[in-house]
Amino acid sequence: MNIGSKNKKRQVLPSRPDPPTVDQILEDINGAAPNDPVFSILEQTGQDSPRPSDSEVESRFQQCRQYLELNERLQEVRGRLLKQREELRAAGEQLQTDVEEVRGQTL
C-alpha cells in the first residue's frame, strides 16, 4: 500500500463562529480586569492615551485630505504618462516605417 495514497478521508472542520457583536465586544472590554494583559500592552505601546485633541483630529484630517489630493493627482499624472507612452510608441513605429522607406529608396 502506498503511504501517500488518497484513501485517507479528509477531516471536516467545523464552520467558523460568527464574529462578536459590538455589544459583546463592549461587554468584554468593560468586564476585563484593569491588569488584563491587553491593557498593559496598550500602555507599553502608548496606545492607551485618551481621545485625541481637536487639534490632533484636525491634523489627521488635513493629512488624510492631502493624501487623497496627492493620490488623485498621481492618478491623473499616471493617465497622462500612459497616453504619452502610447504616443511615443506610435511615433517610434512611424519612424521605423519611414527609415525602412528611405532605405528602400536608396538601394
Position 70 scores a pLDDT of: 95
The answer to whether the CB of 17 falls within 8 A of the CB of 9 is no
Domains of the chain, residue spans: 54-106
Closest CA to 22 of 34, 33, 30, 32: 30
Position 95 scores a pLDDT of: 95
Low-confidence spans in the chain with pLDDT less than 70: 1-8, 42-51, 107
Position 45 scores a pLDDT of: 60
Dig out the grid coordinates for 96 from the structure: 521605423
Alpha-carbon gap, residue 104 to 36, rounded angstroms: 85
